[in-house]
Amino acid sequence: MSTQRESIHGQWSSRWIFILAATGSAVGLGNIWKFPYIAGENGGGAFVLVYLLCIAAIGIPVMMAEVLLGRRGRQSPINTMRELAKDEGRSTWWALLGWSGVLGGFLILSYYSVIAGWGLAYVLNSAAGNFAGAPAAEIKGIFDELMSNPGELIFWHSLFMLMTMLVVARGVKKGLEMAVRWLMPALFVLLLVMVGYAINSGEFMRGASFLFSPDFSKLTANGVLIAMGHAFFTLSLGMGAIMIYGSYMPGDASIAKTSMAVAIADTAVALLAGLAIFPIVFANNLEPGAGPGLIFQTLPIAFGQMPGGTFFGSLFFVLLVFAAWSSAISLIEPAVAWLVENRRWSRIKASVICGMATWVVGLGTVLSFNLWEGYTLWGKTFFDLLDYLTANIMLPLGGLFIAIFAAWVMSRESTRDELELGDGGAYPLWRFMVRFVTPLAVIIVFFNAIGLL
């Protein structure tokens, strides 16, 4: 494998740390509520099977391509794409792909931080016993009051951004690596504790059946498209996070094996979350199809009624914050790395500037839930517009062009050298998938996301 470049930011101490970091980037708020819900509503086990096939056909090949680019370039996504394009004798306009990823991560974090702040607020609410014995109307009132109070939302948004900046400012070894070394094992332990509690809820088998029982009659063409889209988005592809983490990856680590390990760990978190949540929901006769409301309006009702609910409710929202925190540090890292490389700023200065800029943009999301609620563009609030732009346009296009660059622009020798898949059929299979199957699938996901399918 080529070792011509070295990252000025350092590198992960082991392949295992890269797996923890990349899994931390991939595991986020969506894993805790979205995947279990969409699986249950689209055929349970049938949907899970299609999702796993999509992970294999879309997620893992694109992740391998993005890690490959990151490790080959050993710089921020912007500089990596510029240098790799030069290496292949191609236009440096490919740096725009890096810019798109950095901007996408920046915009996502601006509203992600606000929603993560809700999680922080709910840790406090749950620990204070505010959900204990409270009826549904009172719990809805707690959520509505939080949404209508811009000052409180700004406080929690600010606290979460501060937490994120403190980690990133400390660098790869002392910041990112130390965070994921503690956060990810803690997240898995918290999940397992919640699953253990759910097993004793009396409705564990019903929750497992909702999630895993295959019902092919519910698996429509739209369900397949949902599985394809989630398989792409769940691995944090197309936003520069995996590329920058790949640039810190040890040279002797297998890109294929680590990408598969991350995909498996990400899926395991989503399934464990479902096994933790749905038995509790069913045991309390609540609606499992509540989407985002399941987290902040439905589950608190359950925690308020169950024995030990104050403790386990607090535990659950700590888990939610941990998942968001591990993702947030990966979203801001590409921008920080670029400023360190191109402006020669210290990591502390770069982290503060990026964090403040993200915080300012996040104020638009805060206000879109209250003071700016009536102001829309194309029928969307500021938050809805950012969410639509990033999730439906920037990320799938980023993933598509990553696949195109890795499979069509880079030479066979460069990619074979970096992937080190041996002389068997693994490399030809990856190249075929990334050249033909994956781009077609991502285009379908993109057209479906923007309403053209």
In whole angstroms, give the CA distance from residue 437 to residue 149: 47
6 within a domain of the structure (yes/no): no
Cβ distance 356 to 346 under 8 Å? no
Q: Which residues contact 53 (CB under 8 A, 6 or more apart)?
A: none
326 located within any domain: yes
Give the contacts of 282 (CB within 8 A, at least 6 positions apart): 201, 203, 206, 207, 210, 288
Q: How far apart are CA 234 and CA 399, in angstroms?
A: 12
Token digits of residue 154:
């700004």
In a domain, 260, yes or no: yes
**Six-digit token pair at 219?**
């698996």
116 lies in a domain? yes
CB 102 within 8 A of CB 244: no
Determine the structural domain holding residue 309 and report its residue range: 15-449
pTM: 0.93
pLDDT at 3 (0 to 100) = 47
Scan for tokens 């045991």, then name that residue. Answer: 283
What per-residue confidence (pLDDT) applies to 68? 96
Amino acid symbol at 342? N
C-alpha span between 67 and 313 (Å, rounded): 37
Cβ 283 vs Cβ 201: under 8 Å: yes
Whether 10 maps to a domain, the answer reads no
Q: What's the structural domain count of the chain?
A: 1
Alpha carbon distance 279, 380 (integer Å) = 35
| pLDDT reported for residue 365 | 96
Looking at residue 236, its amino acid is: S
Tokens 């938050």 belong to: 383
Residue 5 lies in a domain: no
356 burial type by CB count under 10 A (0-12 exposed, 13-18 middle, 19+ buried): exposed
Q: Is residue 437 part of a domain?
A: yes
Paired tokens of 412: 């066979």
- In the prediction, which pLDDT does 450 show? 83
Q: Are 395 and 240 in contact (CB under 8 A)?
A: no
Residue 78's CATH number: 1.20.1740.10
Per-residue pLDDT of the chain in tens (453 residues, 90 and over written 9): 444 688 899 899 999 999 999 999 999 887 887 888 888 888 888 998 999 999 998 999 999 999 999 999 999 999 999 999 999 999 999 999 999 999 999 999 999 999 999 999 999 999 999 999 888 889 999 999 999 999 999 999 999 999 999 999 999 989 999 999 999 999 999 999 999 988 988 889 998 988 888 888 888 988 888 888 888 888 989 899 999 999 999 998 999 999 999 999 999 998 999 899 888 888 888 777 666 677 888 889 888 888 888 999 999 999 999 999 999 999 999 999 999 999 999 999 999 999 999 999 999 999 999 999 999 888 899 999 999 899 889 999 999 999 999 999 999 999 999 999 988 899 999 999 999 999 999 899 889 888 887
* Coil, helix or strand at residue 380: strand
In 284-346, alpha helices (H): 293, 299-305, 309-343
Q: Is residue 1 part of a domain?
A: no
